[in-house]
Amino acid sequence: MGSEASLKKNAVLIGVFIILKVQAAPTLTDDEADAGELRDDILEINRELKHLFEGDIAVKPQRNAILDKTRRWKFPIPYILTDSLDLNAKGVILQAFEEYRLRSCVDFKPYNGESTYISFVKLSGCWSYVGDDRTGQNVSIGARCDTKAIVEHELLHALGFYHEQSRSDRDDYVKIWWDEIEEGKQHNFNKYEDDFITDLNTPYDYESIMHYRPLSFNKNESIPTITTTIPYFNDVIGQRLDFSEVDITRLNRMYACAETHTLLDQCTFELINICGMIQNEMDNADWVQTRSSPSDEDHTLGGHCRDSGYFMRFDTSSGAAGNSGLLESRILYPKRGEQCLQFFYRMTGAAGDKLVIWIRSDDGTGAVNTFKKIHTIIGEGDDAWKIAHVTLKTSKKFRYLFQGIRGSASSSGAILIDDITLTETVCPSLVWQIHNFTGLLTTTPLGTPVKSKCAYNSEGYSFGVSVYPTGRHSDYPDYVGIALHLCSGENDGVMQWPAKNRQATIVALDQDPDVTLRMSSTRSFTTGRQ
């Protein structure tokens, strides 16, 4: 996907989906949530620190990290989360590890006496060394550095990467305004020649999580020190959502990654082999790979391209009530005991058509034959593309299955599925899809929330999310506000109050069908300590 397209898609979808993952329990009502991109970036946080190079690199680079193979890590990398860290920092470090495991072969494990390791400490600012020092090294996650994206950035330094604008060919892509740089800070804009670093045969990447922002080390708070040759990217450089596509390509090239740790399967149904899925032959109907039409658009392309975009369709307009068709995935081999199956579906028939998710797993003899019903979705007759997250818990080889069932003899439509992702990660506790967000933006006054339904986290606390489409304060009119609140739930008499030391993570989900390319906006916070 072109970088411009992917960022546009991302921007359009922020606020459309709110996924809330409460690993323990939610915060109290009206806690001031983090102000999104208003948050300072690494360089502002590190402003007073004198011992750093390029803003957040701990030692002046004298040896080349990116070309010197002795400075590459062996996986898994042993890590220590020291007691100095804030609770929220510990949580986001673990989340950053999971993003690496989803997209690459990089892996981490708790330290157990190894000679080389990463120790996460809360010192002043956010910084790292470049490459493996082979003696054990610190990564600082100081005050205000506790976001997933900042941890991802510092870990890319530790893995051997410099900032994007220090590439040897950077002058073809960005202009450095030397006169606008604060006195004595010019060395932060050094570039390295190609005998020192390699671009791993990738183009200059304005979207990189390793790029400076326009106002880095500036004298005058409104005048940039770095601007882009293609003006569009002035608003893009310095993004701190997640890895870019090129960041991932480079990481996987440098470490010769052949596979990722937690991605089991994904399918957009664009190819005729339908990702190796098969039709069950014991039932009385089949799913059909179907091309988008103006009346039935697929989810991947959303009807933007003619004669392309495919999805799977189960017809519910004919046959007897109860007719069913099973679509089965290929055989998959899980490594963890828990998976999250995410997919988009649309039910255009009468209310009552059913979409049932099954797994079929190893029966003990090596044959994948033991069926287990996991989740049933009943059509509401409302015709919209919806997202589903279904938790599977299997540690044996298995297939996942979609069963379409015609609900009644009067049904007249179809069940469609598209953009499936199966990862060995934990599903969010609450997923909220806000339809027609554009409409809400025009009709909701400032300071007015839209509220989600309440949901339970894994412990039993009940909570919900409020979204302020036009913001919470007139000071920040261009921002969407998001807040978490507790709901009264059936476990209230049993739960402990107040709910302290819990972390909540709110994600505005990028819907790129390739989960490894998603650049969602993510914020985490923890409830107060005693």
**Maximum C-alpha span of the chain:** 79
79: left (phi over 0), alpha (psi -120 to 50) or beta: beta
| Options 204-212, 365-373, 420-428, 435-443: segment touching ligand NAG (CB under 6 A) | 435-443
- In angstroms, the CA 47 to CA 58 distance is 14
Which of 242, 418, 424, 512 touches Ca ion (CB under 5 A)? 418
224 or 352: CB nearest ligand NAG: 224
Q: Which residue is nearest to Ca ion (CB)?
A: 300
Q: Which does 286 bind (CB under 5 to 8 A by kind): Zn ion, Ca ion, ligand NAG, none?
A: Ca ion
Calculate Rg over the CA atoms of the chain: 25
Residues linked to residue 372 through DSSP beta bridges, in sequence order: 359
Query: In whole angstroms, what is the distance from residue 194 CA to residue 198 CA?
Result: 6
For Ca ion, the closer of residues 154 and 315 by Cβ is 315
Note whether 220 binds ligand NAG by CB under 6 A.
yes
3-state secondary structure at position 515: helix
Shortest distance, CB of residue 375 to Ca ion, whole angstroms? 20
Q: Segment contacting ligand NAG (CB under 6 A): 22-30, 132-140, 186-194, 196-204?
A: 132-140
In the shown chain, the binding pattern of residues 83 to 122 toward ligand NAG, with x for contact by CB under 6 A and - for none, equals --------------------------------------x-
List 322, 337, 439, 498, residue binding ligand NAG (CB under 6 A) = 439
Instruction: Select the span of 54-62, 189-197, 297-305, 375-383 touching Zn ion (CB under 5 A).
Output: 54-62
**Helix segments in 226-265, DSSP class H:** 245-254
CB of 125 to ligand NAG, least distance (A): 13
By beta-carbon proximity to ligand NAG, the closer residue of 123 and 495 is 123
Identify which of residues 146 and 418 has a Cβ nearer to Ca ion in the complex: 418
Does 283 engage in binding with Ca ion (CB under 5 A)? yes
Q: Do residues 211 and 244 make contact, with C-beta atoms less than 8 angstroms apart?
A: no
The answer to whether 307 touches 411, Cβ cutoff 8 Å, is no
65-84 positions binding ligand NAG, by CB under 6 A? none
User: Using the rule CB under 6 A, is 436 a contact of ligand NAG?
Assistant: yes
Q: What are phi and psi of 139, to 5 degrees?
A: -120, 125
* Rounded alpha-carbon distances, angstroms, from residue 177 to 132, 186, 205: 33, 10, 19
Residue 304 marked ligand-binding:
no
211 is in an annotated binding site: no
Q: How far is the CB of 438 from ligand NAG (least distance, A)?
A: 6
Buried b (16+ CB within 10 A) or exposed e, 320-347: eeebbbbbbbeebebebeebbbbbbbbb
Residue count, binding to Ca ion (CB under 5 A): 11
Tell me the three-class secondary structure of 126-174, residue by residue: EEECCCCCCCCEEEEECCCCCCHHHHHHHHHHHCCCCCHHHCCCHHHCE
Alpha carbon distance 388, 379 (integer Å): 13
- Half-sphere exposure of residue 119, counting CA atoms within 13 Å on the CB side? 17
Query: Looking at 20-28, 90-98, 187-195, 437-445, which segment touches ligand NAG (CB under 6 A)?
Result: 437-445
* Minimum gap (Å) between residue 331 Cβ and Ca ion: 18
Q: Is the dihedral of CA 106, 112, 118, 119 positive or negative?
A: positive
Half-sphere exposure of 92 (CA within 13 A, CB side): 28
Active site includes 54? no
What whole-number distance in Å separates Cα of residue 36 and Cα of residue 468? 13
Which residue of the chain is nearest ligand NAG when measured via CB?
Answer: 439
**Residues 508, 15: contact at Cβ < 8 Å?**
yes
The item of ligand NAG, Zn ion, Ca ion, none sharing an interface with residue 56, based on CB under 5 to 8 Å by kind, is Zn ion
Instruction: Name which of Ca ion, Zn ion, ligand NAG, none residue 300 binds, using a CB cut-off of 5 to 8 Å depending on partner kind.
Output: Ca ion
462 close to 486: Cβ distance less than 8 angstroms: yes
Contacting range for Zn ion; rule: CB under 5 A; set: 50-58, 132-140, 269-277, 318-326: 50-58
The β-bridge partners of 357 are 375, 402
Residues 291-320 that bind Ca ion (CB under 5 A): 298, 300, 311
Q: How many residues bind ligand NAG (CB under 6 A)?
A: 12
Min separation Cβ 121 and ligand NAG, Å: 5
Query: Over the range 454-474, which residues count as b (16 or more CB within 10 Å of their CB) and which as e?
Result: ebbbeeebbbbbbbbbbbbee
Q: 226 vs 499, which CB is nearer to ligand NAG? A: 226
What is the DSSP code string of 82-126?
-TTS-HHHHHHHHHHHHHHHHHSS--EEE--S-SS-EEEE--SSE
Is 182 or 459 the residue whose CB approaches ligand NAG more closely?
182
Between β-strands 324-328 and 398-405, what pairing exists: parallel, antiparallel or unpaired? antiparallel
Chosen residue from 41, 56, 164, 418 binding Zn ion by CB under 5 A: 56
Is 136 a binding residue for ligand NAG by CB under 6 A? The answer is: yes
| Cross-strand pairs, 467 | 450, 482
Catalytic residue among 154, 207, 328, 424: 154
Residue 37 Cβ vs ligand NAG, minimum distance, rounded to whole Å: 22
Counting contacts by CB under 6 A, is residue 137 touching ligand NAG? yes
Kindly identify the residues of this chain, within the stretch 482-501, that bind ligand NAG according to CB under 6 A.
none
Q: Name the residues that contact Zn ion, by CB under 5 A.
A: 56
> Which residues are at the interface with ligand NAG (CB under 6 A)?
121, 123, 136-138, 220, 222-223, 436, 439, 442-443
Active-site positions read 154
**Interface residues toward Ca ion, by CB under 5 A:** 268-269, 279-280, 283, 286, 298, 300, 311, 325, 418
Annotated binding site for Zn(2+): 153, 157, 163
